[in-house]
């Protein structure tokens, strides 16, 4: 008998949509041990959240997040709000004994993230943080290959997350560009993803040295957001208080070294999250813009036949693919969320702690924090 997990989702923008879709579609494709039930979605604008509930298939809606937490018929609270409310909601949910799925980055500050981890550990609830890129089949394949010794001892990692959606100086001051709401800019928003991937694939960071920079220091005051990443601004300008780009060097506990770069000013790069790992026996390259592919090199191939091989990660034997389509029929961005929900349901059904969870969230936040401090001091900061 498949267990039912009643879900209450807080937030109905970009991430709310992606999570809603994942809850809706998961059971259609996966034979999971538990099944999410879309109980309630929550947002402050009643008209908008009601519309979202209908369109996305939620049974009910609420206009205050506290109501979600109070409701007895909710097992799992999914937090897709702005970073600045993550702590309050997560702690309240934990105290109410709810399991939690949380969008990254964990919180605007390391201190808040630690408070949140304390709360869930104290409450003994299950917790997951949605570093969804771990759920690309190609990343799972990379993890498997590295685990099997395919790359050998890791020497190098170079990771970039390149976007360009705010390069226009007239793009307005949305919440992602203000420290009070976003915590940081490119660093926390997209840098967090490559830090998590590096932790997942390479291991723990030991120290970092880097800097944050803001190319456009003033922007039009926001009038309204018009899409996931689009907005209208006024004539008046306000200060950008987060980084446009973050660059840092890293040393890892296992001796590997790396370069990391997160920027919203790489013209032509849309969602170019690329990581390359070089080890004593081989190398691995992943680029999200071609997320169905993994490039691998093995120096154990015959000397006359070595090269980077592009694996189209769409075979039945590849992670998650059996649930999807035949070979060569590629999947997309949203599937990472569906795969994540599947993992979450498996964990909840089997009383296991899901991964990645708040421990990973805090570790990632420690690196973000160290990068910010190293940007202030111009020196290496130990994690």
Q: How far is the CB of 313 from its own copies (least distance, A)?
A: 9
Please tell me whether residue 171 binds its own copies under the rule CB under 8 A.
Answer: no
Span from 40-48, 103-111, 266-274, 345-353 in contact with its own copies (CB under 8 A): 266-274
* Selected binder of its own copies within 4, 270, 352, 382 (CB under 8 A): 270
**Both tokens of residue 92?**
């309240």
Measured between alpha carbons, how far is 135 from 113 in angstroms, rounded to an integer?
A: 23
Under 8 Å CB-to-CB from 86, ≥6 apart: which residues?
79, 102, 103, 106, 107, 108, 112, 116
| The one among 95, 213, 225, 241 contacting its own copies by CB under 8 A | 213
Residue among 72, 124, 236, 267 that touches its own copies (CB under 8 A):
267
Q: Which of 125, 139, 201, 296 binds its own copies (CB under 8 A)?
A: 296
List helix spans (H) across 136-191.
137-147, 179-182, 186
Cβ count within 10 A of residue 40: 21
How does 333-372 read in b/e, with b if 16+ C-beta sit within 10 Å?
eebbbbbbbbbbbebbeeeeebebbbebbbbbbbbbbbbb
263 binds its own copies (CB under 8 A): yes
Indicate the DSSP class of residue 277. Answer: E
- Rounded Cα–Cα distance for residues 228 and 234 (Å): 19
Decide: is 51 part of the binding site for its own copies (CB under 8 A).
no
Q: Which of 13, 21, 179, 373 binds its own copies (CB under 8 A)?
A: 21
Closer Cβ to its own copies, 122 or 322, answer by number: 322
Please report how close the Cβ of residue 224 comes to its own copies at its closest, in angstroms. 16
Please identify, using beta-carbon distances, which residue of 166 and 173 lies nearer to its own copies.
Answer: 166
Cα torsion 132, 134, 137, 138: sign: positive
Query: What string of DSSP letters covers 109-137?
Result: SHHHHHHHHHHHHHHT--EEE--GGGGSH
Q: Segment near its own copies (CB under 8 A), from 37-45, 173-181, 318-326, 357-365?
A: 318-326
Segment interacting with its own copies, rule: CB under 8 A, options 3-11, 67-75, 95-103, 279-287: 279-287
Kindly state the smallest distance separating residue 66's Cβ from its own copies, in Å.
Answer: 27
The two tokens of residue 275 are 């990581």
Q: Which is nearer to its own copies, 234 or 254 (CB)?
A: 254
Q: Are 349 and 32 in contact (CB under 8 A)?
A: yes
308 contacts its own copies (rule: CB under 8 A): yes
Listed ranges 3-11, 88-96, 170-178, 331-339: which one lies at the site for its own copies (CB under 8 A): 331-339
What radius of gyration do the chain's Cα atoms show? 21
Q: Is residue 1 at the binding interface for its own copies, with CB under 8 A as the rule?
A: no
Burial of residue 1, with CB atoms counted within 10 A of its CB: 0-12 exposed, 13-18 middle, 19 or more buried: exposed
**Closest CB 293 distance from its own copies, rounded Å:** 8
Q: In the set 141, 231, 242, 367, which binds its own copies (CB under 8 A)?
A: 141
Closest contact distance (angstroms) between CB of 140 and its own copies is 10
Q: Is 214 helix (H, G, I), strand (E, B) or coil?
A: coil
**What CA–CA distance (Å, rounded) separates 270 from 165?**
7
232 binds its own copies (CB under 8 A): no
Of the candidate residues 73, 333, 350, 376, the single one contacting its own copies (CB under 8 A): 333
Query: Could you tell me how many residues of this chain bind its own copies (CB under 8 A)?
Result: 97
Q: Which of 239, 307, 376, 382 binds its own copies (CB under 8 A)?
A: 307
What whole-number distance in Å separates Cα of residue 383 and Cα of residue 367? Answer: 6
Q: Does 370 bind its own copies (CB under 8 A)?
A: no
* Footprint of its own copies on 75-134 (CB under 8 A): none
Residue 143: strand, helix, or coil: helix
Among 239, 306, 376, 382, binds its own copies (CB under 8 A): 306
Q: Rounded to the nearest 5°, which phi and psi values hold at 51?
A: -60, -45
């Amino acid at each position: 008998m498949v267990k039912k997990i009643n879900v209450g989702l807080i937030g109905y923008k970009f991430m709310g949509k992606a999570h809603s879709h994942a809850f809706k579609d998961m059971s259609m494709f996966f034979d999971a041990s538990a099944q999410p039930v879309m109980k309630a979605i929550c947002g402050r604008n009643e008209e908008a959240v009601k519309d979202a509930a209908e369109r996305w298939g939620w049974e009910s809606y609420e206009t205050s997040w506290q109501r979600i937490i109070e409701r007895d018929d909710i097992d799992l609270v999914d937090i897709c709000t702005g970073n600045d409310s993550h702590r309050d909601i997560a702690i309240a949910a934990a105290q109410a004994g709810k399991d939690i799925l949380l969008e990254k980055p964990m919180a605007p500050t390391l201190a808040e993230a630690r408070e949140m981890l304390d709360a869930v550990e104290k409450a003994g609830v299950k917790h997951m943080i949605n570093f969804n890129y771990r759920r690309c089949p190609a990343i799972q394949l990379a993890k498997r290959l590295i685990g099997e010794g395919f790359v050998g001892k890791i020497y190098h990692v170079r990771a970039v997350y390149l976007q360009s959606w705010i390069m226009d100086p007239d793009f307005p001051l949305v919440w992602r560009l203000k420290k009070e709401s976003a915590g940081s800019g490119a660093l926390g928003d997209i840098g967090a993803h490559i830090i998590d991937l590096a932790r997942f694939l390479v291991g723990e960071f030991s120290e970092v040295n880097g800097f944050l920079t803001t190319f456009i220091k003033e922007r039009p005051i926001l009038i309204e957001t018009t899409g996931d990443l689009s907005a209208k601004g006024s004539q008046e300008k306000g200060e950008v208080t987060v980084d446009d780009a973050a660059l840092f060097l890293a040393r890892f506990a296992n001796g590997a070294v790396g370069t990391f770069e997160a920027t919203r000013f790489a013209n032509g790069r849309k969602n170019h999250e690329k990581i390359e790992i070089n080890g004593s026996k081989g190398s691995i390259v992943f680029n999200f813009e071609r997320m169905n592919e993994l490039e691998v090199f093995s120096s154990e191939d015959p000397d006359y036949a070595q090269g980077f091989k592009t694996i189209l990660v769409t075979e039945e034997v590849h992670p998650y693919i059996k649930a999807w389509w035949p070979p060569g029929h590629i999947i997309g961005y949203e599937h990472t969320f569906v795969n994540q929900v599947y993992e979450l349901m498996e964990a909840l059904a089997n009383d296991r702690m899901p991964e990645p969870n708040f421990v990973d969230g805090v570790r990632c936040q420690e690196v973000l924090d160290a990068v910010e401090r190293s940007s202030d001091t111009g020196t290496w900061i130990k994690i």
